[in-house]
A = this chain, B = another copy of it.
């Protein structure tokens, strides 16, 4: 499990929980929609500065993000590793 996957999942979950679009968060954070989308999917490594801007756009601080990442990792670990297809389908 790579950190950018976990962080991407946290950011996507936080954005969806707030009912925000990729565009809204990307604009508030000053990044492109494409870049944010790649970050959320764990495909691009966000710089710490981009991460801070996205967190700010979501009203999260770094402790919130780390706590969410621990949660994602703990709750993901077994289903993700053993049944990746169904785990992602359930999470989508």
Interface residues of A (CB under 8 A from B): 1-6, 45, 47-49, 51-52, 62-63, 65-67, 69-70, 73-74
B74 pairs with A70, CB closer than 8 A: no
C-alpha gap A86/B65 in the complex (Å): 27
B69 pairs with A73, CB closer than 8 A: no
Q: How many copies of this kind of chain does the complex include?
A: 2
From residue A13, how far is it (CB to closest CB) to chain B in Å? 16
A2 pairs with B73, CB closer than 8 A: no
Q: Main SS of the interface on chain A?
A: helix
Question: Which residues does chain B contribute within 8 Å of A70, judged by CB atoms?
Answer: 63, 66-67, 70
A66: nearest residue on chain B (CB-CB)?
B70
A3: nearest residue on chain B (CB-CB)?
B48
C-alpha gap A49/B63 in the complex (Å): 22
Question: Which residues does chain B contribute within 8 Å of A5, judged by CB atoms?
Answer: 48
